[in-house]
Chain A
Amino acid sequence: MGKEELEKRIVLSPDGEPIEIDPINDYFCQDLPEVEKKSSIAILEKFQNWARSRSLWVLGFGTGCGAIEMRPLMTPKFDAYRYGIQWRPTPRQSDVFVISGYLSVKTLKRVIRSYEQMQGPKYVIALGSCTINGGMYWDSYNTINRLDHYIPVDVYIAGCMPRPEALLAGFEQLKKIIREGRGEGANLYAENFEWYKANQKKIIKDWDMPDYNW
């Protein structure tokens, strides 16, 4: 750790009494993720999945060089809005996380944090070869090779870089997956939480956040 603001310390309360503060435990919720069951009524679940697939809110977080491929989707030429794809500024309101290209370890930490703040059901689209096997950065000291060891991935889009059309096709594929009820990445993450966490902690050496920081 070694970060001053995260260490245990004694502060004076407004009444003048000293109290101990442990930021990680006191400021963050320590609950682990739970598997969220599907709705028991099949037709309702189907209807909800249909609505989910028609209203995909993308987290506006460009992690690598592929972020440049997301921007054209907002322009008149590609116009992703007609498919119900919109961009949101905050992870709390987003459904889809587009990992756009290579991930350095430093970015991966932020990605995990953002991913965990998103509300389930949530989906991940991995864009570019770098997320599949490292791409051209496969032997780098600082970029990860396989994204699916750290967060569950729904759709891969291969290429270096894929064109915006490929990204649109990936969104269509994601819609199909959601409509078939297979978009259960959040539950997968909750079920295999310890495995994911062990992988993440192996990479991220200065782990200075709670394990599941809502």
Chain B
Amino acid sequence: MKELIDRLKTSYTVEDYIQQRSDLAHITVSKETAVDFISHLQRVEGYKHLVILTAVDWIEDGKFQLTYLLNNPEMKNDINVKVFIERENATMESIHHLWEQARTYQRELKEMFGIDFPGSPGVDKPFILEGWHDLPPYRRDFDTKKYSEETYFPRPGREKNDPATYMKQKLYPNE
């Protein structure tokens, strides 16, 4: 994969590059060049298969990381294209023109993270959460436990133990 990365570096600004395995590389590109870069990978380099499009919430840095995992079925290797976008008013260009199924991923990201993909068909339709009015639940500042306790009538009497100390007490009560 080394020569591929070198070839890519000549025409694109690669911000960061990690070779994790011989068949898996992580490449970070800027938000502006990302869609261009991905379509180059798809059309020229043979990365025809979009494995997954997902996001990571780096709340400390104020950023979302979008992860486009692409697979090359002929070379049998994967490239993970990472794109960092701002957390406030997060928007990203849609890639549904490259892969039709990307619209579903983008719909999910819109609902779960609040990342908007203008132009993606049906991106505003509810995906799993019907009529959700709160913060998008996959954002890390959303307190899911508090929300659940307020909403879903928790049954009283539920106990929680730390597994390590609990098993220690059970197995070696005399120590």
Contacts and interface: CB of A to CB of B under 8 A. Distances in A.
B130 A139 contact: no
Interface of A: 104-106, 109, 132-134, 138-146, 149, 199, 202-206
Contacts of A105: 129-130
12 contacts: A109-B130, A133-B158, A134-B155, A139-B149, A140-B148, A141-B147, A142-B137, A144-B152, A145-B152, A145-B153, A146-B154, A206-B126
Interface of B: 126, 128-133, 137, 142, 144-145, 147-149, 151-155, 158
Closest 9 CB pairs of A and B: A206-B131, A205-B131, A133-B155, A139-B145, A145-B152, A141-B137, A141-B144, A139-B148, A149-B153
Contacts of A149: 153
B153 A206 contact: no
Binding site secondary structure of chain B: loop
Nearest to A205: B131
A144 B130 CA distance: 14
B154 A134 contact: yes
Given A145-B148, A145-B152, A138 B128 contact: no
Given A142-B129, A199-B153, 19 more contacts: A104-B128, A106-B128, A106-B130, A109-B130, A133-B155, A134-B154, A139-B148, A140-B148, A141-B137, A141-B144, A141-B148, A142-B128, A143-B152, A145-B148, A203-B151, A205-B133, A206-B126, A206-B130, A206-B131
Nearest to A207: B131
A109 B153 CA distance: 17
Nearest to A199: B153
A139 B129 CA distance: 16
B158 A205 contact: no
A186 to B, nearest CB: 22
B57 to A, nearest CB: 14
A89 B162 CA distance: 44
Contacts of A141: 137, 142, 144, 147-148
A98 to B, nearest CB: 21
A137 to B, nearest CB: 9
